[in-house]
Structure 1
Amino acid sequence: MRRIVLSLVTFLAFFYMPQAMADMPVGTWTTMDDKTGKKRAVVELSLKNGELSGKIVKVFREKGDKGICAKCPGEFKNKPIEGLTFLWGLKDQGRGVWSSGQILDPKSGKIYRAKLSMHGDKLYVRGYVGLAMLGRTQVWVKKISASENHDPSMA
């Protein structure tokens, strides 16, 4: 009997683990400009002590971008955007939703409350002040190829 229970528990763990991992936004994502649809950055999301955070790995610079967080407040001010932790404190709410954290917009220097929702290879990232319904959503795409790190303007 004990062997049957152990086998059942093991089977269920392997059955549900892929689904649990599918709801984890940990990994590399390509951010898109919500106005132009162009790639803006490659970011790395990681999980530590149950909280999700994000770091900017690569920026696809536009003309005039200096690569520093000039308008950012406090400890973020004048820091290089590449390598910057811009997303922090998100907690798993279940079913691919993460919230209760904050996100920094390096372009405006503003910090917003954040909510993330995973749907397949897309991550819906909502920044807002007060009510989530009054915010703005960007769609990030799961990064697949190393070639996305290539910035044609740097060639």
Structure 2
Amino acid sequence: MRYRIAALLLALAAPAWANPTPVGRWHTIDDDTKEVKSEVVITEQDGVLTGRVEKLLRKGADPNRRCTACTDDRKDQPIVGLEIIRGVRQVPGKAVWEGGTILDPENGKTYNVRLTPVEGGAKLEVRGSILFIGRTQTWVRAN
């Protein structure tokens, strides 16, 4: 009986051991207030990740807000539904995804991005940088 319970527990825990991935729903966290800011959905197609703002969750956020500071094809597009992560691929043999860009819709700037799942995929380290200067945010997987 003990072995059956152990086998069942191992089977249930196996997905946690699987290679964590950035694919899924994430809550972004405000750097200053530490409150949930938005929900971003990251998807994969043909090995390439993209991420879109699904919801604005910050108190008082305008759901009709547009990216007025953007300078590319996203100029004046609604932030809800906006593709903020583009062209990210997994580094071969590593649990790291990079090579693409991330847009900060607050200021319209685009940064090189590196996505690293941590804590078994429960959190995602999102590093945006230009050359060697950048910052890292930690996003939390949404249920």
> Which TM-score bucket, shorter chain as reference?
0.7 to 0.9
Aligned counterparts, 1:122-141, within 5 A: 122-131=123-132, 134-141=133-140
The TM-score normalised by the length of structure 2 is 0.80
Q: What is residue 88 of structure 2 aligned with on the other side?
A: 90
Q: 1:58 to 1:124 in 2, by over 3 A?
A: same
- Aligned-partner Cα distance in 2 for 1:64–1:143: 19
Q: CA deviation at 1:63?
A: 4.6
Q: CA deviation at 1:31?
A: 0.4
RMSD over aligned CA atoms reads: 2.1
Size of the aligned set, in residue pairs, is 127
Q: What is residue 51 of structure 1 aligned with on the other side?
A: 48
- Aligned-partner Cα distance in 2 for 1:39–1:76: 23
The TM-score normalised by the length of structure 1 is 0.74
Aligned counterparts, 1:80-119, within 5 A: 80-93=78-91, 94-119=93-118
Q: CA deviation at 1:56?
A: 0.5
| Higher Rg | 1
Q: What is residue 24 of structure 1 aligned with on the other side?
A: 21
Q: CA deviation at 1:36?
A: 1.5
Q: What is residue 69 of structure 1 aligned with on the other side?
A: 67
Query: 21-30 or 120-129, which moves further after superposition?
Result: 21-30
Q: What is residue 32 of structure 2 aligned with on the other side?
A: 35
Report the identity percentage.
Answer: 37
Structure 2 gap ranges (5+): 1-10
1:85-127 per-residue CA deviation (whole Å, 9 max, x = no partner) reads: 1101111014321111100000000000000111120100011
On the 8 A contact 1:61/1:67 being kept in 2, the answer is no
Q: CA deviation at 1:22?
A: 3.6
For 1:135, what is the secondary structure of its paired residue? strand
Structure 1 or 2: larger helix share?
1
